[in-house]
């Protein structure tokens, strides 16, 4: 029997993936049997997989729910007609379930509880294979068959699926919210499912106090805990006596998606006076669907020669050790790992005030600069202030490094063990 499953939506780029793999590696190194489960079959893996950890996924996609759907090689008119008809039937079932849930929701919300079997529980549990498809059905099957002692799920929909799949099973379930639910859009059905299925979680966690505050008003949970992101082993103890040669680089490490506000950063960089911008480079480390649009924006702003797109990198610390300023212009956030790692590497940051998470770590004028969300002029002024004052960059960077010492594994491990219901580590 496995001691711990870490369940992720996929093993591609993302802060939740990094945290999940860090936790898996850490506890596996202490002799626990740890498995990492990805909910997407054959999704590209972007992170180095930890030694001693079994990594697996759910297997083939939803076609496995019915042999008619999996017989894609059969191109006969009969086979195609059967596939089309079955697909339409599944869509109709999902629609009728959504309507039934919406009509009955006030009653479901009152009666749904893991400690008692009600018609509401039975309605949702029987409907989940249709509402969530193959991912739920296969996840439920794996949990029933293998019975891990505990599950750590990360990100909202993954959390909901794990709580539903483990609803009536005797195992310890921990869910982790990674973004502020007041800012992050979630489809109404999934928002409703979260409000009832999180009741199954033994511990509901978040990595910032702001998200904890938001969760407190969303429901009554058995246990609600702040669970800080750990730093990679030893990162918070980087030798400060070693000489650091900083280059004139403004660095952003993020997925290239609208949430991260990198279009605002490009506009802010372009607005810098040439007397300030000369000799400086903006490096974007990360990949995503917005890359082409951002490259075109850099061309239109006539700063393409000063902007580098490094793509996804599994070693962002190499960039952080050389850069001079870290930029986080996000439209909403949880607690981004990239910010924590940049602070641990001694970088001052310019961050937006979009979400409470980063503001718990970066105090304006102490660890970096805080500017209003979506305000590229203010972001540009903050960049200029840091670019022109090397002494200020060094002071703010040193304060950032000192603050991050509190997130080393040696400090946060006892709390992680408590949340995961693991016995204290033997001294």
Domain ranges of the chain: 4-230+411-419, 235-406
CA 380 to CA 87: how far, in whole Å? 51
Pairing of strands 325-328, 349-352: parallel
Which of 358-361's residues contact partners 24+ apart within 8 Å by CB, and which partners?
358/328, 358/330, 358/333, 359/210, 360/208, 360/209, 360/210, 360/335, 361/335, 361/403, 361/404
**Domains 4-230+411-419 and 235-406 are alike in CATH topology:** yes
Query: Coil, strand or helix: which one is 204?
Result: strand
The CATH topology of domain 4-230+411-419 is Rossmann fold (3.40.50)
- Tell me what pLDDT residue 356 has: 77
- Tell me what pLDDT residue 109 has: 84
320 with 247: CB under 8 angstroms? no
- Tell me what pLDDT residue 63 has: 46
In angstroms, the first-to-last Cα distance of the chain is 25
- Tell me what pLDDT residue 26 has: 92
Q: How far is CA 123 from the centre of its chain?
A: 30
Domain covering 235-406 assigned CATH 3.10.20.90 in the classification: no
Over its length of 427 residues, how does the chain's per-residue pLDDT go in tens digits? 789 999 999 988 778 888 999 999 999 999 999 999 999 887 888 777 888 898 998 876 554 455 555 555 566 676 667 667 767 777 787 788 788 877 888 888 888 888 888 888 888 888 888 888 888 989 999 999 999 999 999 999 999 999 999 999 999 999 999 877 877 778 888 888 899 999 999 999 998 888 898 899 888 888 999 998 887 765 544 445 456 779 999 999 999 999 999 999 999 999 999 888 888 999 999 999 999 999 999 999 999 999 999 998 878 888 998 999 999 999 988 778 889 889 988 999 999 998 777 888 899 999 999 999 999 999 999 999 999 999 999 999 999 988 888 778 888 899 999 999 998 876 5
207 with 386: CB under 8 angstroms? no
CA 225 to CA 50: how far, in whole Å? 26
pTM of the entire structure? 0.75
């Amino acid at each position: 029997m496995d001691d711990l499953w870490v369940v992720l939506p996929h093993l591609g780029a993302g802060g939740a993936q990094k945290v999940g793999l860090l936790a898996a590696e850490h506890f596996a190194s202490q002799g626990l049997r740890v498995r990492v489960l990805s909910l997407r079959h054959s999704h590209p893996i972007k992170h180095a997989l930890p030694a001693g950890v079994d990594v697996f996924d759910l297997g083939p996609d939803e076609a496995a729910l019915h042999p008619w759907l999996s017989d894609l090689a059969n191109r006969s008119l009969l086979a195609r007609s059967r596939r089309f008809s079955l697909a339409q039937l599944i869509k109709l079932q999902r629609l009728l379930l959504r309507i039934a849930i919406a009509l009955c929701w006030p009653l479901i919300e009152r009666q749904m509880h893991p400690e008692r079997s009600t018609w509401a529980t039975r309605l949702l549990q029987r409907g989940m294979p249709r509402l969530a498809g193959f991912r739920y059905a296969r996840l439920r099957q794996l949990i029933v068959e293998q019975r891990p002692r505990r599950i750590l799920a990360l990100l909202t929909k993954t959390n909901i699926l794990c709580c539903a799949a483990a609803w009536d099973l005797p195992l310890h379930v921990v869910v982790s919210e990674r973004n502020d639910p007041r800012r992050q859009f979630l489809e109404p059905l999934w928002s409703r499912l979260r409000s009832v299925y999180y009741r199954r979680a033994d511990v509901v966690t978040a990595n910032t106090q702001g998200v904890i505050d938001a969760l407190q008003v969303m429901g009554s949970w058995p246990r609600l805990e702040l669970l800080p992101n750990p730093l990679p082993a030893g990162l918070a103890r980087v030798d400060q006596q070693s000489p650091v040669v900083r280059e004139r680089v403004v660095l952003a490490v993020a997925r290239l998606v609208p949430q991260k506000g990198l279009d605002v950063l490009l506009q802010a960089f372009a607005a810098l006076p040439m007397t300030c911008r000369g000799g400086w480079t903006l490096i974007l480390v990360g990949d995503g669907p917005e890359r082409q649009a951002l490259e075109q924006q850099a061309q239109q702003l006539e700063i393409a020669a000063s902007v580098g797109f490094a793509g996804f990198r599994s070693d962002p610390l190499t960039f952080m050790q050389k850069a001079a300023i870290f930029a986080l212009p996000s439209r909403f956030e949880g607690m981004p790992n990239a910010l924590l790692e940049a602070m641990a590497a001694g970088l001052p940051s310019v961050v937006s005030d979009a979400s409470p998470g980063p503001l718990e770590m970066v105090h304006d004028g102490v660890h970096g600069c805080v500017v209003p969300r979506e305000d590229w002029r203010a972001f540009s002024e903050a960049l200029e202030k840091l670019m022109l004052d090397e002494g200020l960059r060094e002071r703010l960077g040193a304060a950032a490094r000192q603050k991050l010492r509190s997130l080393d594994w040696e400090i946060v491990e006892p709390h992680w063990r408590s949340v995961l219901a693991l016995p204290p580590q033997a001294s």
